[in-house]
């Protein structure tokens, strides 16, 4: 089972800001004036970094194991579901057109399912994952 909890490091920079970096996504960098603000910004930054991978048609890096001194930043549920669907389609070598035919929907609808900026409902993504032979699992992390 794959989760979408990405390890991040928070360090205070020379200006006193809390700098957040992601080892698995080197271009995803953010900060905040307070520790809490940096955590809030980290979630947004992570979501945008994953969306950029999907938009650009490149591999979405899976999170590596958290190391000492790192914290886990959870990818929001809808983006995690879209990333899981995108990763599954890439692993199966399907084009967007072939994916749409598999679901028996027009290509526009198939593209919307993969669009990281479209507010697709989770049950619809779950149906698509089932059609691909996978299960979408929602969990809770404290």
Find out whether 29 and 76 touch, Cβ atoms under 8 Å.
Answer: no
- The pair of structure tokens assigned to 103 is 């679901």
pTM of the shown model: 0.92
pLDDT (tens digit, 9 = 90+) per residue, 13-56? 999 999 999 999 999 999 999 999 999 999 999 999 999 999 99
pLDDT (tens digit, 9 = 90+) per residue, 47-63? 999 999 999 999 999 99
Residue 89 banded pLDDT, cuts 50, 70, 90 = very high
Nearest CA among 53, 56, 37 for reference residue 4: 53
Average pLDDT taken over every residue of the chain: 94
């Amino acid at each position: 089972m794959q989760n979408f909890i990405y390890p991040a490091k928070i360090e205070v920079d020379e200006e006193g800001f809390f700098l957040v970096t992601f080892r698995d996504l080197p271009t995803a960098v953010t900060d905040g004036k307070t520790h809490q603000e940096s955590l809030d910004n980290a979630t947004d930054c992570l979501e945008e970094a994953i969306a950029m991978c999907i938009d650009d048609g490149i591999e979405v890096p899976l999170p590596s194991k958290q190391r000492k001194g790192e914290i886990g930043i959870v990818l929001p549920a809808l983006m995690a579901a879209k990333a899981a669907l995108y990763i599954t389609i890439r692993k199966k070598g399907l084009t967007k057109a072939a994916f749409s035919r598999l679901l028996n929907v027009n290509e526009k609808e198939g593209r919307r399912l993969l669009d990281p900026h479209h507010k697709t409902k989770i049950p619809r993504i779950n149906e698509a994952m089932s059609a691909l032979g996978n299960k979408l699992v929602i969990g809770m992390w404290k």
